[in-house]
Amino acid sequence: MAGLFITFEGGEGAGKTTVIQHIFQKLIAQGIDVIQTREPGGIKISEKIRSIIHDPEHLEMEERTEALLYAAARRQHLVEKVFPALEQGKVVLCDRFVDSSLAYQGYARGLGIDEVYAINQFVIQDCSPDLTLFFDIEPKKGLERIAANKNRERNRLDLENIQFHEAVYEGYQKVKARFPERIKTVQAGQSLEAVEQDAMDIISSFLNENEKGGNNEINYYGDSR
């Protein structure tokens, strides 16, 4: 049986990382076979790529290089961690996936959503999330939240100005319009408890509807194995 692949998306300071941890614990308590992971990262090679992309000293990094590094980290993470978990029938909760590349590199960096989607199709083959939660927060409010959170890792993208983060937000609106069936919106400007509750409600009803597993029952590895 194929598992279920659930991704979490949004701009900076939307609170999705905290909410994923909460949902992960709730699902474990319900006896659901679930893993939690993140992009870029989740496994050794992809965490190393993450530190290259996000190093605040790498200001010379060019947009296409950035898009390709996210894509490379994504591929290795899928093959080592996500595909095996889905094949074992697990629920996979992933902090960011291709939609981040479409909004950040495709739209905000100006590479083009179609162009960035094309390189990612090579990476993901036929694997797309079964459900995506978009954490909707006004960019200004999100940035205020991260400024207040001293424990949060500061990365190269955090050095971008408000216009960039507004463009990311607009990019997500375009991505949502492209995949309206898959992407559900959570109002992330509410209290943390309310955001967690809304996210959990969406996931619970989705899991109830999909007890038999998701759409990703395919040969993920294509011809490469």
Which residue ranges make up the site for ligand TMP (CB under 6 A)?
12, 38-40, 70, 96, 100-101, 104-105, 155, 157
Residue 14 C-beta: closest distance to ligand TMP, Å? 9
Please state the closest distance from residue 150 (CB atom) to ligand TMP, in A.
15
CB-nearer residue toward ligand TMP: 103 or 131: 103
Instruction: Report yes or no: 145 and 193 within 8 Å, Cβ to Cβ.
Output: no
- Any residues with CB less than 8 A from the CB of 104 and at least 6 apart, and which? 157, 168, 171
Nearer to ligand TMP, 94 or 203 (CB): 94
> Min. distance of Cβ 4 from ligand TMP in angstroms?
20
Paired tokens of 169? 């937000």
Nearer Cβ to ligand TMP (95/198): 95
Q: What's the angle, vertex CA 192, arms to CA 97 and CA 187, rounded to 5?
A: 60
Shortest Å, Cβ 73 to ligand TMP: 8
The Cα–Cα gap between 37 and 82 comes to: 9
Q: Which CB atom, from 104 or from 134, has the smaller least distance to ligand TMP?
A: 104
Cα distances from 48 to residues 55, 80, 92, 101, 163, in angstroms, run 11, 15, 22, 18, 29
Nearest approach in angstroms of CB 89 to ligand TMP is 25
Q: What single letter denotes the amino acid at residue 133?
A: L
Coil/strand/helix, residue 149: coil
Residue nearest to ligand TMP (CB): 104
Decide: 136 and 186 in contact? Cβ < 8 Å.
yes
Q: CB nearer to ligand TMP: give 66 or 130.
A: 66
